[in-house]
Amino acid sequence: MEHHFGYPFHVILVFFVTVGLAVYVDLRAHRSSTEIGLKDAALWSVFWIGLALAFYGYLWVGYNKEWADLYLTGYVLEKTLSVDNLMVFIAIFSSFAISGGLQHRILYWGILGALIFRAIFVLAGTSLFLASAWVGFLFAAVVAWSAWKMMTAREEEEEIADYTDHWSVRIAKRVLPIFPRMHAGRFFITRKVAEELLDGDSTLQLHGRTWASFFATPAFLCLLAIETSDIMFAFDSVPAVIAVTQEPLLVYAAMIFAILGLRSLYFVLAALTRYLVHLEKAVIVLLYFIAAKLALQSWNHTIGDTGIDIGAGLSLGIVLGILALGVIASLVFPEREGDGKAETESEATDAAAAEAVAEVGEGLAADLLVAE
């Protein structure tokens, strides 16, 4: 195996051409604003996973299995960690009362932003790691802290956060003029459109600079909450993937292929999350393993060689094995009847809340957004 994978031109070309064509096909297929069905989301999830596996095969044939395994391990890890992030997206959309069709559009723009920020984080993270092996201990602490937060959060009964009061939304409301209601799924509307809508509804009030030539809508505020949440998530996921390989191109390719399928996976997981009840426990175990691997790797390079080396193939096997155990445990040991009852009561509460939102309509969202 070569010492460094580097930045082969033809790999970069194949990667960006493949991603560009796939994104174009996805956008053409979902150019309408209709809600995405579960079947359509499942098929597109298979498409994106198949594309990631095809790139794995390309690396295996064009280079060797070890480089390919490093990429695939990073991909599986990023895909798994994204599940927790998607649950946050569900809470954000619920807070802003965003419909399924608009959810897909917001996720698209959010993922485009993630592509840019991931590139920055990957370059910074790999550069720090390569500059000093001691940084690995810091990354290990970050990953272990992420696992600890997930573990302790499961033991606490926390109220669902109201993301209409998210810190990024509060800052945006101080900086941008805000129109308090959705309009045709747009992120911004002109002053002329705002005045026409104000004339039709005397209860509406502009927020911020009322003389501005454009106004942000709740759709943009929702996008902002999605984007900032993803950036915070990157602080956890990037060190974890860098634990697998410090090759920037392989890390970035793994993360991008994982992220591009998140829109479709979001709608699948929204339906399946109640059945994979033990998957989060598997993710916690996985994070602790990654933290230990990082610490071991840094120890070998800074303090003394322990003689223990977790190679690419073994890492891939452990990651897949832990996830498989989480899925199998969810199927063999589903939620106990008592837990299911609690979930049913929770679902009933959520349904009642959703019905109340439907009755109040956009007026409630307006009150939430213009409230100081």
pLDDT tens track for 94-114: 888 887 667 777 877 877 777
Q: What is the pLDDT of residue 53?
A: 93
Torsions phi, psi of 190, nearest 5?
Answer: -80, 165
Q: What is the pLDDT of residue 342?
A: 40
Does the reported pTM lie above 0.75?
no
Q: What Cα–Cα distance (Å) separates residue 202 from each residue in 168, 205, 206?
A: 28, 8, 11
* pLDDT (average), residues 64-92: 81
219, 89 contact by CB (below 8 A): no
Torsion, Cα of 292, 298, 302, 304 (10° steps): 50
Q: What Cα–Cα distance (Å) separates residue 103 from each residue in 94, 99, 181, 267?
A: 10, 6, 16, 10
pLDDT tens track for 312-324: 678 778 888 888 8
Predicted confidence band of residue 352 (pLDDT cuts 50, 70, 90):
very low
Alpha-helical runs (H) found in the chain: 9-29, 38-62, 65-96, 100-131, 135-155, 167-175, 191-200, 218-244, 248-260, 262-272, 279-302, 312-332, 337-360, 362-370
pLDDT at 354 > cutoff 70: no
pLDDT tens track for 258-283: 888 776 776 676 666 667 777 778 88
pLDDT at 329 > cutoff 80: yes
* pLDDT (average), residues 347-372: 38
82, 234 contact by CB (below 8 A): no
Highest mean pLDDT of the ranges 15-29, 144-158, 196-210, 324-338: 15-29
pLDDT at 178 > cutoff 80: yes
Residues 6+ apart with CB under 8 A from 339: 277
* pLDDT (average), residues 114-129: 81
* pLDDT (average), residues 301-327: 80
Predicted confidence band of residue 338 (pLDDT cuts 50, 70, 90):
very low
3-class SS of residue 168: helix
Q: 103 or 56: whose pLDDT is higher?
A: 56
* pLDDT (average), residues 335-360: 42
Predicted confidence band of residue 35 (pLDDT cuts 50, 70, 90):
low
Percentage, residues of the chain above pLDDT 70: 79
User: How many Å apart are CA 204 and CA 167, to the nearest integer?
Assistant: 24
Q: 35 or 204: whose pLDDT is higher?
A: 204
